[in-house]
């Protein structure tokens, strides 16, 4: 086997980090299901024309081709790997609309792929965890308040640093730009989206260039983007800028509803942050990003928003709202900083020692008994000297070694060296040792 | 959005079947972890040259190409989607050998892809669940006995009909063919592999044509393939055929060890079935298939074997043994026969009704209280008449509707119509209603 080298952008975890990831996925799932979100998985591929509906990400798609296929034959119905879970979900809703009950709530935890050029810190394959609510015709606004709270609750249960949810509203900003006299609000939004990258003066230049803003208009746009409050004072701050527009008022009202709900259920954990723009064109209401304490430079770990026009079939539209957590990205950052790890790399709690080859049967029976009571157990690979079997447990991270004996069994905690009599029918490890847990250092 | 049609070969489940699948995956994981298998995921793609090492599946590979890439530029380092989990695992072991402890045990539950032409019943994307043990240098034979027992234990816990594990041994067959005077045992094996498809006379013709077998040799090969026993009597049956060969004896001894272990831990559930051939060339010892009661025509739902030469690096080899469960295939068959279903399509146990828009806050607080005690709860999407809210719960499959009230709350079991006072701080649903369960009909 030649050329075994990692592929840039395709992260793979060792067993320890993978165990921590699994724990994170379990907690996400648990929270989502508590809120009534049903699990879904969609196929990895979509017709290329579906994937390109969003437009701007077309360069990132991986196309599929059968190795033996006639290269020209596939061109009509080209398939590509999905680059997010929203586009496939919208397609799934349309395809199964007759079999779903609306408003439909689902969570989806899957890999996505982006055909990026290899680049440090850029993943080409990664796991996302999404929740969305989609309705038929109209979607009540209270779901826009629900999203950052459900995901916030999930994040609060994870072994990660505190995450603040940042919210903004497309109507608010577009109404503001319009009230300001700008005729291309989308261009203004895209300029503001670059604020963290190119700074206020860069954005001002861009606003002039792409949105036709004069100095006063650019200054007003930047003033709006500066507003960030944990309470409802953003309303006065916006009004102080002196712009009037019905769409602005609508957006402000939606923000107030969300922030009032958030104040009750996640006090201080949801922030009105009026520079949040989101790149994607299809958002039409609330938009979400986030900030992880101590890891602000890593950028937003979850984001999303309301989309009224992503899925439609004839005259029927399916407005939705969703939020997406970049699990691989989040954990990549935390693993990289050694901030999160598994308590041990293996599920195994007990290694049953084997005195000699004839004793393997007896060792197996102990293992069966322990497993029947939910204790993860494996039997020593070989009948080496006990010292060697203990060292094997040590290297594998197994905390207990069990010695079957004719006159009764014994179990050793190999960390403390404590050893004593034990009965496989009743012995129980300390709760913290039963399963792998996650250790945090931040 | 145009052309929303299912893609042949890319199965997607509705929320109910997906919930049943999740339960199956949970039980598999639980069993594997009880036996000390660590979870792993490998990236979806491998370099094409890695994927083609197995040879015969080359026509089934999906190649990747970035949409915007220069078609000629990628040819040197072409990437393809993995078509199984064994090849990526072997690569992972070599890549991370310095960081793993051997024998290394892992389970892996992931999607795989095969670039088949669209065809009824052929999946092009499906989920597999694999366990493997890989060692450095030599792998003790007891792991070959472990595989069908661990997977058998997992299958026994699943909500599926009973599955019999079928085992055979490459050494046994190849020794037999060699002892018989056949010079190309692999050709003989490949002919026998077609027994269920083309029958004894077809196989006899194939044996003559591809393995140079005369009538007596072909007859002996078919006689060997007929042997199927639940106890150790296969040994006498083989010996009665009058062929002597050291490799045959070695294979027989390995089979005896496995069948003796199986008799203790899965009596009657492991069968010596000497026609099991497995298509893949890389197996070198025990091989496994399976048979599901009542669904025999669906073929083997899990299969695998020992491979001594799949992973090697310089002079170091990593022999392994593994078994793989085709989860999508298994469930596709059972869903198709309406034999397995979820008790309800949503996780939600309780819908909290909303009397009017002002009451949404109070409903939210009830939901928070129920969720805090682990009861999956959602709040009604709108303040419709209660009858309409109850019908919404009914259509969604939610068993309980909660009515917050100024003078105390009430809860209604909408299946029985029973309604009575309830306190969100203490009320508990019947255990069977708390979470989705799996219903079987077979």
CB contact under 8 A, B43 and A347: no
Beta bridge partners of A114: none
Instruction: Compute the C-alpha angle A80/B129/B374, nearest 5°.
Output: 95
Query: CB of B411 within 8 A of CB of B350?
Result: yes
CB contact under 8 A, B376 and A36: yes
- The whole-number pLDDT of residue A58 equals 53
pLDDT in tens, A96-119: 999 999 999 999 999 999 988 766
- The whole-number pLDDT of residue A47 equals 92
Domain spans of chain A, in order of start: 15-341, 350-440
- Among chain A residues, the shortest Cα distance to B114 is held by A66
CB contact under 8 A, B63 and A59: no
Reduced to 3 states (helix: H, G, I; strand: E, B; else coil), residue B404 is coil
- The whole-number pLDDT of residue B308 equals 93
Weakly modelled stretches of chain A, pLDDT under 50: 1
- The whole-number pLDDT of residue A115 equals 87
- The whole-number pLDDT of residue B3 equals 58
pLDDT bracket for residue B67 (50, 70, 90): confident
- The whole-number pLDDT of residue A1 equals 45
- B interface test, pick of A43, A92, A354 with most B CB neighbours within 10 Å: A43
pLDDT in tens, B364-408: 999 999 999 999 999 999 999 999 999 999 999 999 999 999 999
pLDDT in tens, A354-372: 999 999 999 999 999 999 9
- Among chain A residues, the shortest Cα distance to B344 is held by A38
Architecture of the domain made up of A350-440: 3-Layer(aba) Sandwich (3.40)
Reduced to 3 states (helix: H, G, I; strand: E, B; else coil), residue A313 is strand
pLDDT bracket for residue B122 (50, 70, 90): confident
pLDDT bracket for residue B112 (50, 70, 90): very high
pLDDT in tens, A174-192: 999 999 999 999 999 999 9
A358 interface with B at CB cutoff 8 Å: no
Q: Assess whether the previous peptide bond of A149 is cis (omega < 30° from 0).
A: no
pTM above 0.90, yes or no: yes
Is the pLDDT at B339 greater than 70, yes or no?
A: yes
Instruction: Compute the C-alpha angle A385/A390/A396, nearest 5°.
Output: 130
Residue range A15-341, CATH number: 3.30.930.10
Is the pLDDT at B1 greater than 50, yes or no?
A: no
Q: Assess whether the previous peptide bond of B103 is cis (omega < 30° from 0).
A: yes
- The whole-number pLDDT of residue B58 equals 53
- The whole-number pLDDT of residue B326 equals 96
- The whole-number pLDDT of residue A165 equals 98
pLDDT bracket for residue B98 (50, 70, 90): very high
Report the C-alpha gap between A190 and A341 in whole angstroms: 38
Cβ-nearest to B38 among A15, A47, A103: A15
ipTM value, please give it.
0.95
Structural tokens at position A379: 């039997």
B389 interface with A at CB cutoff 8 Å: no
Query: CB of B148 within 8 A of CB of B288?
Result: yes
Kindly list the residues from chain B whose CB atom is less than 8 angstroms away from the CB atom of residue A262.
none
pLDDT in tens, B253-307: 999 999 999 999 999 999 999 999 987 778 999 999 999 999 999 999 999 999 9
Chain A segment 7-46 residues within 8 A of B by beta carbon are: 7, 10-15, 18-19, 22, 33-45
Average pLDDT of chain B, as a whole number: 93
Cβ-nearest to A18 among B40, B80, B382: B40
- The whole-number pLDDT of residue B31 equals 98
Architecture of the domain made up of B15-39+102-341: 2-Layer Sandwich (3.30)
**Largest alpha-carbon pair distance within chain A?**
91
- The whole-number pLDDT of residue B312 equals 84
Per residue, the 3-state secondary structure of A127-148, as one string, reads EEEEEEEECCCCCCCHHHHHHH
Range list of β-strands (E), B170-273: 228-229, 270-273
Report the C-alpha gap between A434 and A437 in whole angstroms: 9
pLDDT in tens, B44-62: 999 988 888 765 555 588 9
pLDDT in tens, A281-325: 789 999 999 999 999 999 999 999 999 988 888 889 999 999 999
Exposure string (b/e) for B407-420, b if CB count within 10 Å is 16 or more?
Answer: eebebbebeeeeee
Beta bridge partners of B411: B402, B420
Structural tokens at position B333: 């068959």
B123 interface with A at CB cutoff 8 Å: no
pLDDT in tens, B209-247: 999 999 999 999 999 999 999 999 999 999 999 999 999
């Amino acid at each position: 086997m030649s050329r075994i080298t990692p592929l840039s952008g395709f992260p793979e975890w060792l067993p320890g980090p993978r165990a921590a990831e699994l724990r994170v996925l379990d907690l996400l799932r648990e929270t989502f299901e508590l809120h009534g979100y049903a699990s879904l998985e969609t196929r990895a591929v979509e017709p290329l024309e579906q994937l390109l509906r969003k437009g701007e990400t077309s360069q990132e798609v991986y196309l599929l081709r059968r190795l033996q296929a006639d290269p020209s034959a596939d061109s009509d119905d080209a398939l590509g790997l999905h680059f997010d879970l929203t586009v496939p979900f919208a397609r799934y809703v349309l395809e199964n609309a007759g079999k779903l009950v609306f408003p439909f709530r689902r969570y989806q935890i899957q890999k996505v792929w982006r055909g990026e050029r290899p680049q440090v810190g850029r993943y080409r394959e990664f796991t996302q965890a999404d929740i969305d609510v989609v309705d038929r015709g109209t979607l009540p606004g209270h779901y826009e308040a629900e999203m950052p709270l459900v995901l916030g609750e999930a994040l609060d249960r994870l072994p990660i640093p505190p995450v603040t949810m940042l919210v903004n509203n497309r109507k608010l900003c577009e109404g503001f730009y319009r009230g300001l006299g700008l005729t291309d609000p989308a261009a203004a939004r895209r300029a503001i989206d670059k604020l963290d990258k190119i700074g206020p003066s860069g954005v001002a230049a861009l606003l002039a260039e792409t949105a036709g803003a004069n100095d006063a208009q650019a200054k007003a746009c930047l003033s709006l983007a500066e507003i960030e409050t944990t309470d409802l004072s953003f309303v006065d701050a916006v009004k102080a800028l002196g712009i009037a527009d019905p769409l602005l008022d609508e957006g402000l009202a939606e923000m107030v509803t969300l922030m009032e709900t958030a104040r009750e259920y996640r006090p201080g954990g949801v922030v009105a942050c009026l520079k949040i723009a989101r790149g994607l064109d299809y958002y039409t209401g609330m938009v979400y990003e986030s900030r992880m304490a101590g890891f602000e430079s890593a950028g937003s770990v979850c984001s999303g928003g309301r989309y009224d026009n992503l899925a439609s079939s004839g005259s029927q539209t399916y407005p939705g709202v969703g939020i997406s957590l970049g699990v691989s990205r989040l954990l990549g950052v935390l693993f990289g900083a050694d901030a999160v790890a598994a308590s041990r790399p293996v599920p195994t709690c007990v290694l049953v020692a084997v005195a000699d080859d004839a004793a393997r049967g007896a060792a197996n029976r102990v293992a069966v008994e322990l497993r029947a009571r939910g204790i993860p157990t494996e039997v020593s690979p070989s009948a080496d000297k006990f010292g060697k079997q203990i060292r094997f447990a040590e290297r594998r991270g197994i905390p207990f070694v069990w010695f079957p004996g004719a006159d009764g069994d014994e179990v050793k905690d190999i960390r403390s060296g404590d050893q004593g009599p034990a009965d496989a029918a009743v012995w129980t490890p300390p709760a913290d040792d039963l399963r792998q847990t996650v250790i945090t250092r931040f």
